Each structure stands twice: as C-alpha cells, then as structure tokens.
C-alpha cells in the first residue's frame, strides 16, 4: 500500500454504528454486518475508487479498513487483544468515525471513541460520519449539526443510500 501510494482510510466507531455497512456500501465487499457486540473481530479491508477528476474520469483507489466497534469501559486486556486491529487505525491516513445519529447516548459514544483513539495514539484527521439519519427525527439531526459544526461532519443513511454524494466529496478532498 505504501509503495503504491494508496491512501488508507480507517473506519472506526462505537459498536453497532454501521461501520461494516458503510464499508459494504462503499466497496460492495459483502462483509457481515450484524446488530451485535463484536460482530467484527478483525479488520475487514476493501477497495474503493474515488473519481477525483470528473472531466477525465480519473481518480484514486483507496483502501478502507473496518475495525472492531468500541464500547465503554472496555477492559485493558480486551483492548490489548484487539491491538492488531486497532493498529490499522493508527496507520491509516485519516479516519471515518461512524456514529449512530439515532443513539440517545451519541455524545457519550463519541467521547468513548475519541478517548480510545487517543489512548492508542490515533491522532489523524477525522470525518465524523453521522449514520442512521433515517432513524432520527429532523430536530435531532439539526441539533447534531449545530453541536458538531466545528467538526468535519457528514450525515448519511447507509440503509437508504442518503448523503453518499457529500461523503464521497469529503473523501476526495482528503485523498487529492
């Protein structure tokens, strides 16, 4: 990857935020996406082609790494056992932090993920990807947009295919 200059994007987030579903949507990989703890135990990697020049159709191939979902108060031994999958986050060029916009504890979940990333030394730029907007009401989405307006954010629904144009635009900005 490094020799070929292929950018790598780490997909991180709290458990059940939709990380594997996002990987599937961007790559057509067909990774198991389940609503349960630790459905993803290792790193799933997929390729995605981003058109950076619409006139010529040229672009860049990028690698996407889907990692385990984080949970609050993850025991240190468990963090250590998942260290190899977490290393992919550290080595990524930037991160997509996938967030369940419908989660009533969204702020706590974001905090947990940022703490784990800080603890493992993953300090790259992040795009906050608020997923599941189809399950949240408009007022909730407006509150999240306002609260996180200082961050690089995008609001999507993997299930309904909404927001992908904006997400791809942000990915292209990062890999140019």
84 closest CA partner among 110, 64, 65? 65
pLDDT at site 74: 56
In the chain, DSSP assigns E strands to: 8-13, 44-53, 58-66, 94-100, 126-131, 153-155
- pLDDT-based confidence at 71, cuts 50/70/90? low
Identify the CA nearest to 87 among candidates 175, 3, 10: 10
Q: Of the CATH numbers 1.10.490.20, 2.102.10.10, 3.40.50.300, 3.40.50.1820, which one belongs to the domain with range 8-175?
A: 3.40.50.300
pLDDT-derived band of residue 72, with 50, 70 and 90 as boundaries?
Answer: low
Banded model confidence at residue 83, pLDDT cuts 50, 70, 90: low
Which pLDDT band holds residue 121 (cuts at 50, 70, 90)? Answer: confident
Question: What are the residues whose beta carbons fall under 8 Å from the beta carbon of 143, sequence distance 6 or more?
Answer: none
pLDDT at residue number 80 = 54
Give residue limits of the domains in the chain.
8-175
Q: What predicted TM-score, i.e. pTM, was given to this entire model?
A: 0.84
- Lowest mean pLDDT: which of 41-45, 105-109, 147-151? 41-45
């Amino acid at each position: 990857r490094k020799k070929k200059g292929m950018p790598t994007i780490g997909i991180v987030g709290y458990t059940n935020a939709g990380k594997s579903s996002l990987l599937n949507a961007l790559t057509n990989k067909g990774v198991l996406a389940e609503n349960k703890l630790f459905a993803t135990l290792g790193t799933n990697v997929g390729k995605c082609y981003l058109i950076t020049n619409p006139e010529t159709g040229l672009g860049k191939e990028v690698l996407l790494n889907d990692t385990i979902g984080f949970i609050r108060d993850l025991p240190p031994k468990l963090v250590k056992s998942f260290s190899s999958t977490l290393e992919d986050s550290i080595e990524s060029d930037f991160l997509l932090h996938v967030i369940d916009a419908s989660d009533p504890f969204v702020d706590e979940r974001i905090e947990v993920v940022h703490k784990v990333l800080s603890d493992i030394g993953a300090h790259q730029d992040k795009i906050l990807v608020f997923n599941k907007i189809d399950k949240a009401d408009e007022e909730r989405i407006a509150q999240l947009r306002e609260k996180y307006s200082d961050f690089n954010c995008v609001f999507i629904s993997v299930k309904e295919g909404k927001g992908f144009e904006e997400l791809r635009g942000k990915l292209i900005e990062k890999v140019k």
